[in-house]
Structure 1
Amino acid sequence: MFHRKPLEERIAERVAKRPPLKEGKHFEHRPALIVFCVIMVLVALKIVGAFVLMKWGIT
């Protein structure tokens, strides 16, 4: 209708243009690393907070 390629083809072309992932690198781009770190910090804070509450006898 609009003379555009299907979404799947456009995504496949964009992925094919990317350089290969470097050896030993786990995250392709910085935002993924930041989101992962934020989630890990929140999980750690939740666990530490639960232990603190148990120590104080609140729960």
Structure 2
Amino acid sequence: LPLVYGGGLKKENAQMLASIPEIDGGLIALTRFSGEIGFYPEEYLEIVHLYLNGCAHA
């Protein structure tokens, strides 16, 4: 059964979450609710690249 992280993949946690072998993917968070609040779709590819670079089990 694939396990998908639903807490929100962000630039800050993508590599760390990708390094956990039991996690098979995640929901990408493009909205921030603290700091500079807003919607940041331009971060999508950066988050994907960070996640893929952190995958030791891919």
Greater strand share, 1 or 2? Answer: 2
Same fold (TM over 0.5): no
Q: TM-score, normalised by structure 1?
A: 0.29
Q: Of Structure 1 and Structure 2, which has the larger fraction of its residues in helix?
A: 1
Which TM-score applies when normalising by structure 2? 0.29
